[in-house]
Amino acid sequence: MTRIAFVNGAYRRHGEASVHIEDRGYQFGDGVYEVCEIRDGALIDETPHLARLERSLAALRIAAPMSLNALKLVMREIVRRNRVRDGLVYVQVSRGVAPRDHGFPAAARPSLVVSAKPLDRRKGEANAAVGVRVVALPDERWRRPEIKSLQLLPNVLAKQSAREKGAYEAWLVDDQGRITEGSSTNAWIVDAAGKLATRQADRAVLSGVTRATLLALLAKEGVVFEERPFTLEETYAAREAFLTSAGNGVMPVVAVNDRVIGDGRPGALTLALREKFHRFAEMSPV
C-alpha cells in the first residue's frame, strides 16, 4: 500500500512529499514535533500530546499552522489513509520558508507535516518479555530539552552510540552524575525499598506524555513514587528499572552498562504497570 503524508495543506504520496530547501526546519532545526501512539485504531493520550505541542510552539514563538480541531482531523485522515491500527502518527511544525538568516523572518507561514507508520506490537512484547539493555552517556544536549524541538543531534548521536554498543537505549547523565532521561525516553528505577523514582519535569528533561500518564496511574493505584534525580550508582543498586515513551509504553530495563539490574529479569511492578498502562490512558477513536 502506498503511504500518504500531509504537507502544507495537501495529501501526497510519501515518496513525493517534500518541503522547500529554505524551510527553517531543514536549515536550522527551527521547529517542533509530536509523536502519538496509535493502538487498536485509537490515538493514545492525544489531548496531552497536542497540549505539549502548543507549549513547544509558544516557547519558540511559532504560530500554530491550524486550529487544534483541524489538526485532529488531519491526524485522523492520515491514520485512515495509511490504514494504521498499531503505530505512530508524527506531527512536525517549522517556522516556515524564508531566505536563510538566523533571525526570525519578518513574514513566514509555518510549515506542517503529518505522517503515520505502522509498528509491529509483537516486537515490543518480545522486548518486554526479556527486558532491554541501556548504556549511560554524558548529557550533551542544549539547555532547553523540555521543548520538544527539532534540535536532536545529541540525541541522535547518543542513540547511535547505544546501538553500536548493542544496547536498546542511552540514558543521559548530567555533570553531577545524575540520570536525566534517555535519548528518546524517560528513565525510571524502583529502589531497594520498592519506591519508584523518575527525574522531576524541570528544564533538564522533556516532560514525557507517557511519563505523566503513568504518574497519574501510580497515584490512582496508591503506588509510592518520588520525582527526583537519581544517580548511576543508585541505578546499579535498583530492584527494577524501566523506560517510557509513546513508542515503548513501559519497557523493562534489565542491564545498564552491562551491570545487571535486580535479578536480570523484568520486574513484577514494571510488568504490572506495562499491562495496566493502556487501559488507563486516554484513547481517542480515529
Tens-digit pLDDT string for the chain (286 aa): 679 999 999 999 999 999 999 999 999 999 999 999 999 999 999 999 999 999 999 999 999 999 999 999 999 999 999 999 999 999 999 999 999 999 999 989 999 999 999 999 999 999 999 999 999 999 999 999 999 999 999 999 999 999 999 999 999 999 999 999 999 999 999 999 999 999 999 999 999 999 999 999 999 999 999 999 999 999 999 999 999 999 999 999 999 999 999 999 999 999 999 999 999 999 999 9
Cβ atoms within 10 A of the Cβ of 72, count? Answer: 17
Residue 1, pLDDT score? 64
What is residue 144's predicted lDDT score, i.e. its pLDDT?
94
- What confidence score (pLDDT) does residue 2 get? 78
220 is annotated as an active-site residue: no
**CB-facing half-sphere around the CA of 65: CA atoms within 13 A:** 26
- The pLDDT value given to residue 170: 98
What class is the 4-119 domain?
A: alpha beta
Rg of the chain, C-alpha, whole Å: 19
Grid coordinates representing 26 are 531543514
What's residue 54's pLDDT? 98
pTM (2 d.p.): 0.96
Q: How far is CA 121 from the centre of its chain?
A: 17
Q: Which of 117, 148, 159, 276 is catalytic?
A: 148
Which segments within the chain are labelled E, that is strand? 4-7, 10-13, 31-39, 42-44, 87-94, 111-118, 132-138, 169-173, 178-182, 186-190, 196-198, 225-227, 230-231, 240-245, 249-256, 259-260, 283-285
Domain 124-285 has CATH 3.40.50.720: no
> Quick one: the chain helix, strand, coil %, rounded to 5?
30, 30, 40
What ranges do the domains of the chain cover?
4-119, 124-285
The rounded distance, in Å, linking the Cα atoms of 124 and 230 is 26
